[in-house]
Structure 1
Amino acid sequence: MPAAMVVSGGAGAEGKTTVYVIISAIMAGFGGLMFGYDNGIAGGVTSMDDFLEKFFHDVYEKKMKAHENNYCKYDNQSLQLFTSSLYISALVFSFVASFLCNKFGRRFTMRLAAVFFLVGALLDGFAVNLPMLIIGRVLLGAGVGSANQSVPLFISEIAPANIRGALNILFQLCVTIGILVANLVSYFVSTVHPHGWRIAVGLAGVPAVILLLGSLVITETPTSLVEREKFEEGRTTLMKIRDTANVDTEFDQIVHACELARQVKDPYGKLMKRPSRPPLVISVFIQIFQQFTGINAIMFYAPVLFQTMGFKSDASLLSAVITGLVNVFSTLVSIYAVDRAGRRVLLLQGAVQMFISQSIIGILLLKDLKPTGSLGHNEAIIIVLLVCLFVMSFAWSWGPLGWLIPSETFPLETRTAGFACAVSSNMFCTFIIAQSFLSMLCGMQAGIFFFFAAWILVMGLFGFFLIPETKGVPVDDMINRVWKKHWYWKRYMQDEDPDEDRKQSKLEMAPSSSRS
């Protein structure tokens, strides 16, 4: 659930937070809204009888049998493929988008993402058979992979340093808004028979159109322009987004970083070297832990999950709306706190709260929800509250920071490659959860919540010992001020290539006029 940072807005940068930057970030954020909507809508439509009867008749028949095992009535590989196909497609396209971002720019890749989303939404909305439905989801996945690579890059590269964290989390906020909108749509169209599900999946095309139109009017980032040797256009754009002509320091930093990056002919090879290991390991493991908290099991399948717990159809969709609201407002907390309290405080507090919530949910379900029957009224309310506490803690910690922290750590020469690895890791783990959760729920029953709680415990220990604080550190000074001072990661910084050091020293001594 989906950011790469550059030297833009680094040390020495002048200028203010302009209305143009905010508007551009909001327009780009519709890529996150599309991702969130597609996340949320899958669970909504898979709880609708009209949808199940048309595409997954076996599941529909099992659901209609009153004596069917609560935990197993949705266990169907094809149904899970409907959800998970999006993420395996996104995994592949995150690497394609990495190349496109470098070659053609962030704005072009966002535009392509919007087209994928629009075509995928139309195919799903008019689907007449399962293959057509899955193809639509695959195209939506191509949009997710392209948007999750390009939109956070775009937002990060136009963001001033003083609001770097908050503006970066705007992408995650848009994701949560998309999930909430999907839950609301599912709730209101669930009574529209027999085509309510078509409205639900087809409405994914609305934010796609907004992103497409927005990508036509917003500017490309200065870093992307300089990367492609459009120096004057890059300087002009930087002056525009900073609302000042005094951009020499920041522009020289961008040019210098791009020159260093140009020396690296194989960014993926560079990424595998020892000095690149700290940001790579942290970025990949954050994505793994983020998904194995169980958050997407809850957000994808919230209506299905609440039905499993004995809620009626309307009540389950309404409960999903409630968790969606909690998700949005808790992300706002992260926007406020991330540049004040710092990253580590939010990560560690979130891990503790998630662990407690998942554990108690597991205990209550183990005690009160049998394979047949349903929860009592009071127990059901407690479960919804605990789910809200879990979603709340994720939404202000590992959710947004899972994207922010990787965005702050990679140098420009490995930025798109490193972020592609982060995005693809996230999509792969999301695919695993989406494809297996309903089967795991059937096999493990209430024990699945203890499974996720165990992962959260390991995640918290990883965060405590291995994730450094990056608040307020310019991205171009991350090696000196973070990695070389960390008790563990500093050992990886002692193995720099002497030849590369000499090249870097020569570039640093070169006058800025010769570079621009």
Structure 2
Amino acid sequence: MDVANRLLDADSDHSQFVYVIAAIAALNGLLFGFDVGVISGALLYIDQSFTLSPFMQGLVTSSVLVGAMIGAATGGKLADRFGRRRLTLAGAVVFFVGSFGMALSPTLGWLIVWRVVEGVAVGVASIVGPLYIAETAPSDVRGALGFLQQLMITIGILLAYGVNYLFAPEFLGIIGWRWMLWFGAVPAAVLAIGTYFLPESPRWLVENERVEEARSVLSRIRETDAVDEEIEGIREVSEIEEEGGLSDLLEPWVRPALIVGVGLAIIQQFSGINTIIYYAPTILSNIGFGDIASLAGTIGVGVVNVALTVVAVLLVDRVGRRPLLLVGTAGMTVMLGILGLGFFLPGLSGIVGYVTLGSMFLYVAFYAISLGPVFWLLISEIYPLRIRGTAEGVASVFNWGANFLVGLTFLPLIDRIGEGYSFWILGVFCLLAFVFIYTRVPETMGRSLEEIEADLRSNAIMGPDGDSEVSERQHRSD
């Protein structure tokens, strides 16, 4: 419980304001999670207003991801130019407007358009939340605080499942999908109000020659004797770098971090998590559960997701990023194998159905301690300061692009080859993910952002233990 004690006893090492900043910034994840989760229940009833084929169900679901790619592609650069705080406020406003637009959509076309608009805010939130937290958190609790973003994503998904259940027609006697989608305006308003009272990232302030403002912010979130030392460390890193852009991501010394970020971005989605999040009610209906039982089952999925993310928060700064990723992807591979097998067995509405449901829960549990939170944490840690926002944007574009492909094709894939083979294909991707993580992903636990960058810059290639392969070869020669 070392990590838990550090988090709870804020006054012993860090100002409580550190935790306030992290909690509010993590609300970006709540918007992200709510949008991901709410469409799963709404989709059951949107079909009653607009008749949808499997492809159109996929399009309605995945249209938000088109906007997310736009938000991710532009959000990183905007975060570097205008600051983390301003971009968070702008994203919250766009999400607020998008929620009303979806709820009032008179046609399917307008619903898709507003899904794209809200997706822009989701894409921005996926970048700016982890970035803001990573740049304000002390290194010894950066992992745990960074996981707050993922915890809020899971809470947002659970909140969406609860809203879906509450506004189900069986309870209200109306087709409530519009109310489900409108409710997203509530967390957007909370994020906007909270962010209004937050300071800007001190690292961004130093980068933009606003050193006294950065000192003022750091004095509220660090011990007094550590402020000048941290500012000096940030300035030293800034002074050896020129203004960064997309071309800088292809520099030989940055390329290993780019491969890790993009690789994890694709892996996270091709592992199949959003086939469960988006289509859990549809999958449960196929197993044999009714609409209300399916919505209740998704609440169970959401509870597991939240609970295991809390476990990950307690472990990430104790056991490290790599062990969580390796254990999680191994478990996901096994659970997808069992989940796929269940669809080849008769009697899915009986005991086999509950075994299949259990494997779904365990799959989500393994994801929640690994790929879910660790991906977003790592891409906020491994990139150089001047291009951190841009680099996160690139990784996020690949993440949302992979998400779009999976969301758009999963239901047609099931329609073509069946659930069993579809889940086995996802299991193969999880196995490949394990191999990629074992061979390419470094450990960043307990290291400052400046130390990670210095190692990347001086050695060019990062090994899986967090040290460079160059250093390892030199050590062996000595």
Q: TM-score, normalised by structure 2?
A: 0.91
Q: 1:214 to 1:243 in 2, by over 3 A?
A: farther
Indicate the residue corresponding to 1:189 in structure 2: 167
Q: Does the aligned pair in 2 maintain the 1:173–1:332 contact within 8 Å?
A: yes
Q: Does the aligned pair in 1 maintain the 2:342–2:353 contact within 8 Å?
A: no
For the pair 1:223 / 2:218, whether they are aligned, the reply is no
1:487 deviates by 7.3
Following superposition of structure 1 onto structure 2, how do residues 24-35 of structure 1 map, counting pairs within 5 Å?
A: 24-35=21-32
Counterpart selection for 1:18 from 5, 15, 40: 15
Instruction: Percent identity, please.
Output: 33
Partners in 1 of 2:302 and 2:343 — Cα distance? 22
String of CA shifts for 1:107-164, please: whole Å, max 9, x gaps: 0000010011001000111111112211211111110111112111111111011101
Indicate the residue corresponding to 1:377 in structure 2: 350
Indicate the residue corresponding to 1:403 in structure 2: 376
Partners in 1 of 2:70 and 2:152 — Cα distance? 23
Indicate the residue corresponding to 2:451 in structure 1: 477
Partners in 2 of 1:171 and 1:102 — Cα distance? 20
For the pair 1:45 / 2:32, whether they are aligned, the reply is no
Higher mean alpha-carbon deviation, 230-239 vs 323-332, is at 230-239
Indicate the residue corresponding to 2:4 in structure 1: none
Following superposition of structure 1 onto structure 2, how do residues 195-234 of structure 1 map, counting pairs within 5 Å?
A: 195-234=175-214
Q: 1:246 to 1:347 in 2, by over 3 A?
A: closer
1:347 deviates by 1.1
Higher mean alpha-carbon deviation, 303-312 vs 191-200, is at 191-200
Where in structure 2 are there 5+ consecutive unaligned residues? 1-10, 473-478
SS of residue in 1 equivalent to 2:224:
coil
For the pair 1:456 / 2:396, whether they are aligned, the reply is no
Partners in 2 of 1:480 and 1:260 — Cα distance? 11
1:272 deviates by 0.6
Which segments of structure 1 move beyond 3 Å, counting only runs of 4 or more? 479-485, 487-494
Q: 1:245 to 1:473 in 2, by over 3 A?
A: closer
Where in structure 1 are there 5+ consecutive unaligned residues? 1-13, 60-74, 369-373, 495-516
SS of residue in 2 equivalent to 1:339:
helix
Indicate the residue corresponding to 2:113 in structure 1: 135
Partners in 1 of 2:267 and 2:349 — Cα distance? 33
1:481 deviates by 5.2
Q: Does the aligned pair in 2 maintain the 1:359–1:450 contact within 8 Å?
A: yes
Q: 1:280 to 1:144 in 2, by over 3 A?
A: same
1:30 deviates by 1.4
Partners in 1 of 2:238 and 2:464 — Cα distance? 30
String of CA shifts for 1:187-218, please: whole Å, max 9, x gaps: 12112232411111100000100111111111
String of CA shifts for 1:32-53, please: whole Å, max 9, x gaps: 10110000011111112xx212
How many residues align structurally? 455
Following superposition of structure 1 onto structure 2, how do residues 49-60 of structure 1 map, counting pairs within 5 Å?
A: 51-55=46-50, 57=51, 59=52
Partners in 1 of 2:61 and 2:470 — Cα distance? 39
Which structure has the bigger radius of gyration? 1
Partners in 2 of 1:126 and 1:279 — Cα distance? 43
Matched to 2:49, the amino acid is: K
Matched to 2:187, the amino acid is: P
Q: Does the aligned pair in 1 maintain the 2:256–2:462 contact within 8 Å?
A: no
Q: Does the aligned pair in 2 maintain the 1:40–1:182 contact within 8 Å?
A: yes
Matched to 2:366, the amino acid is: S
Matched to 2:229, the amino acid is: T
1:296 deviates by 0.5
1:277 deviates by 1.2
Indicate the residue corresponding to 2:307 in structure 1: 329
Q: Does the aligned pair in 1 maintain the 2:75–2:123 contact within 8 Å?
A: yes
Partners in 2 of 1:111 and 1:455 — Cα distance? 36
For the pair 1:164 / 2:142, whether they are aligned, the reply is yes
Counterpart selection for 2:245 from 251, 258, 267: 267
String of CA shifts for 1:324-374, please: whole Å, max 9, x gaps: 000000001110011111112111111111111100111121223xxxxx6
Indicate the residue corresponding to 1:68 in structure 2: none
Partners in 2 of 1:38 and 1:123 — Cα distance? 14
Counterpart selection for 1:294 from 267, 272, 275: 272
Q: TM-score, normalised by structure 1?
A: 0.85
Calculate the aligned-residue CA RMSD, in Å: 2.0
